[in-house]
Structure 1
Amino acid sequence: MTTMRTAIERRSVIAGIGLGGLAGAAALADEKTPTPAGPTDEAALRFGTRKVGDVTVFYREAGRADAPVLLLLHGFPTAGHMFRDLIPKLADRYRVIAPDLAGFGNTVAPPRASFDYSFDALAQVTEGFVEAMGLTRYALYVFDYGAPTGYRLAMAHPERVTAIISQNGNAYTEGFSAEWGPWEAYWRDPSPENREACRASLTDEAIRFQYLHGAPEGRVSPDGMTLDMHYMRRPEAQEIQLDLILSYRTNVALYPDFQAYFRKHQPPLLAVWGRNDAFFIPAGAKAYARDLPKAEIHLIDAGHFALETHSAEIARRVRSFLERNGV
């Protein structure tokens, strides 16, 4: 019994020393290695809506309320979720706002029978959203459909635009690839047959191609494309998109006006372009220099959805560009 009691007491002492040692180490660690701070409340992602006429615009936002504003305008067939990796990388310095355009994502718009799904309407709703948010100065980040939408805003209120970042956002006919053939045929002749031919652009296969073509293998998450496929299955979604495909011809007609705006107002412009884009080819990025001699043009080894694979590089370029231009 004495031997057993001695052994138990010895184990208790050793255990006490061990626990004390661990506690001491933990205290030392707490003293020398403070817990890293998480993101501030201002930088945390927030979600909201704004009513613009009959449209309820959904948006994502992060950053301080008094920080310089960066307005992110998405493209086809996606929504503001395409900026999910970019927003946190810029929200420490900028108030970053990404609305879903009418007919896309979580924005709620009327049915086709009572709403004109055109690029003029997209711009009007976006302008109403900007005013509802009280934005008087902002830099524009435009992608795909976001470019003709944002450039309409810029022409209407050039005094508001502090800078432009175009990520595969076209404003020159040189930027079109041969992939636009069916759409161009529909613009020239909006027949039921040509409309139906454009429906191939709305399939799961077409959306998958947009995401994967020209992107580094194994780098594209399925999340974005899967959500876009889901959106395309909602009631009237395909017909709305076909209406917008026809309306895209009005953007091409406005290209000379967009270019005149560039020449007159000389906004600082960064073109950061996925060089492997099957739809908007690098010539569209290079063309900006014709009207904006100081434009910064970077071609990166990515596809159409360059943010899916190169958000860190794009964020660094955007941050450097805006800081050098006093934004």
Structure 2
Amino acid sequence: MSPSQNSLPTRRAFGLLAAAVLMFAAIRPTQAAAAGNSADKRRVDVQVRYRTVPLDGVDVFYREAGPKDAPVLLLLHGFPTSSHMFRDLIPALADRYRVVAPDYPGFGQSAAPQRGTFDYTFDRYADIVEKLTEHLGLRRYALYVMDYGAPVGFRLATRHPERITALIVQNGNAYDEGLAGFWDPIKTYWSDPSPANREALRWLTSSKATKWQYTNGVPDTSRVSPDAWTHDQALLDRPGNADIQLDLFYDYRTNPPLYPQWQEFFRSQRPPTLVLWGKNDEIFVAAGAAPYLRDNPKAELHLLDTGHFALETHGPRMAELIVDFLARHPAKKRVER
């Protein structure tokens, strides 16, 4: 057999191998591009958007992220902060949920109308948030309520129980047991709204008090970003804002009389409920956490070794608990009658 004939199978083998290499080279960029597009889609899904919408003549700011068709989680902030408190939590949840977090008027990036032109009350805040949910087409949603977010959110829940798919309560009070010594001077103001009693509370809008709210009860304060309280304080220091906050301290008196109504909602509706509580909180003490289980025995309670702003120190752990909880309690489709 001639040398040329003997080498034919080898040449054929190399030819097939070369063709395979060329085909793989042609396919690989396409696959890489597809993978890149998928990664880009994931990044888009969790990208936070910052928007403002006029509601009843007031510009209301909100943060939003996640797929439009995903189950909705509405995040309601406390005092003295804003949706800024959810800055790390939102991206952690937005790959699974449509997350919306508004700022109340007078807080964060929302407008702060002059006193006398806007009623700074919890009823009014509930009105504004309700209008935002309707503007965005949020027909059903899970509620995350913290501090002031509790009286705002629980007003929404009792107005429209059919809209609530779950509750996540983080240091948000609905029981007399949660109001301890911190509230004594505020209760004095409720019973006697004199100028002297009002001024006695002005220190709560000071930088010292704001930092205290973030660091009190925190075993390791290096876990709390100073950006949090300096951001809040810059907004509190706007002209006239301290008096807005004092108005809200006075209006908080309207919340304890509603506790029985909210508790009846917990008992009768039994929404899936996750309670996450900084157990060292002196503003809303841990004694206010356990009663949620009294009214809804299927509620879940986690006491965390931290203070009032638990997300600052336990954010990753709380995100894990929220994802696990919502996965076990998916929003069920409501049958329209």
Which secondary structure state, in structure 1, belongs to the residue aligned with residue 120 of structure 2?
coil
Distance 1:106 1:232 in 2: 12
Q: Which amino acid aligns with 1:292?
A: N
Cα contact 1:74–1:143 (8 A) shared by 2: yes
Shift of 1:282: 1.1
Structure 2 match to 1:298: 302
What residue number does 1:218 align with?
222
1:323 aligns with 2:336: no
Q: Secondary structure at the match of 1:166?
A: strand
Q: In the alignment, is the contact (CA less than 8 A) between 2:46 and 2:66 conserved in 1?
A: yes
Residues 191-232 of structure 1, C-alpha deviation per residue, up to 9 Å, x if partnerless? Answer: 111101111111100000000011223110011100111011
Deviation of 1:40 (Å): 2.2
Q: Which amino acid aligns with 2:104?
A: L
Which residue number corresponds to residue 245 of structure 2? 241
Q: Which stretches of structure 1, 4 residues or longer, exceed 3 Å deviation after superposition?
A: 34-39
Superposed, 1:117-196 pairs within 5 Å as 117-196=120-199
Whole-Å separation in 1 of the counterparts to 2:189 and 2:81: 22
Distance 1:178 1:44 in 2: 42
In the alignment, the residues of structure 1 paired with residue 146 and residue 192 of structure 2 have an alpha-carbon distance, to the nearest angstrom, of: 27
The aligned residue for residue 3 of structure 1 is none
Query: C-alpha displacement at 1:87, in angstroms?
Result: 0.6
- The CA RMSD over aligned residues, in Å, is 1.6
Residue 113 of structure 1, CA deviation? 1.7
Counterpart of 1:10 in structure 2 is none
Name which of 71, 74, 79 aligns with 1:71: 74
Cα offsets for 1:259-304 (capped at 9, x unmatched) = 1111111111110001111111111110101111111010011110
Q: For 1:37-56, list aligned pairs within 5 A.
A: 37=39, 39-56=42-59
Instruction: Report the secondary structure of 1:141's partner residue.
Output: strand
CA distance in 2, matches of 1:311, 1:325: 21
TM-superposed deviation, 1:37: 4.0
Deviations 1:235-260 (A, max 9, x none): 21000000000000101111111111
Pick one of 223, 237, 257 that aligns with 1:253: 257
Q: Using the TM superposition, give the Cα deviation of residue 110 of structure 1 relative to its aligned residue in structure 2, in angstroms.
A: 2.0
Q: What is the CA-CA distance between 1:177 and the residue it aligns to?
A: 2.3
TM-score of the pair, normalised by structure 2: 0.85
Distance (whole Å) between structure 2 residues aligned to residue 318 and residue 58 of structure 1:
24
How far apart in 2 are the matches of 1:200 and 1:292? 37
Q: Percent identity?
A: 55
In 1, Cα distance between the equivalents of 2:174 and 2:166?
16
Displacement after TM superposition at 1:109 (Å): 3.8
State the alpha-carbon separation in 1 of the partners of residues 86 and 152 from structure 2. 17
Matching residue's letter, 1:269? T
SS in 1 for 2:197: helix
Unpaired segments of 5 or more residues in structure 1?
Answer: 1-30
The whole-number CA distance in structure 2 between the counterparts of 1:257 and 1:225 is: 34
1:110 counterpart SS class: coil
Q: Could you tell me whether the CA contact under 8 Å between 1:54 and 1:109 is conserved in 2?
A: no
SS of 1:289's equivalent? helix
Which residue identity is paired with 2:119?
D
Provide the rounded CA distance (Å) in 1 between the counterparts of 2:282 and 2:301.
18
What does residue 197 of structure 1 align with? Answer: 200
- Matched to 1:87, the amino acid is I
**Contact 1:54-1:110 within 8 A present in 2 as well:** no
Q: Match for residue 19 of structure 2? A: none
Deviation at 1:121, TM superposition (A): 0.7
Q: Determine if the alignment matches structure 1 residue 113 to structure 2 residue 116.
A: yes
Q: Output the CA distance in 2 between the equivalents of 1:264 and 1:84.
A: 34
SS at match of 1:41: helix
What CA distance in whole angstroms lies between the structure 2 residues aligned with 1:82 and 1:177?
24
Q: Which residue among 259, 271, 274 is the counterpart of 1:270?
A: 274
Q: Matches of 1:69 and 1:285 in 2, distance apart?
A: 24
Q: How many residues align?
A: 296
- Could you tell me how far apart the structure 2 residues matched to 1:160 and 1:109 are? 29
Query: Residues of 1 paired with 2:136 and 2:228: CA distance?
Result: 27
Structure 2 unaligned residues grouped into runs of 5+: 1-31, 332-337
Shift of residue 182 of structure 1? 1.0
TM-score, structure 1 as length reference: 0.88
Alpha carbons 2:105, 2:113 under 8 Å: kept: no
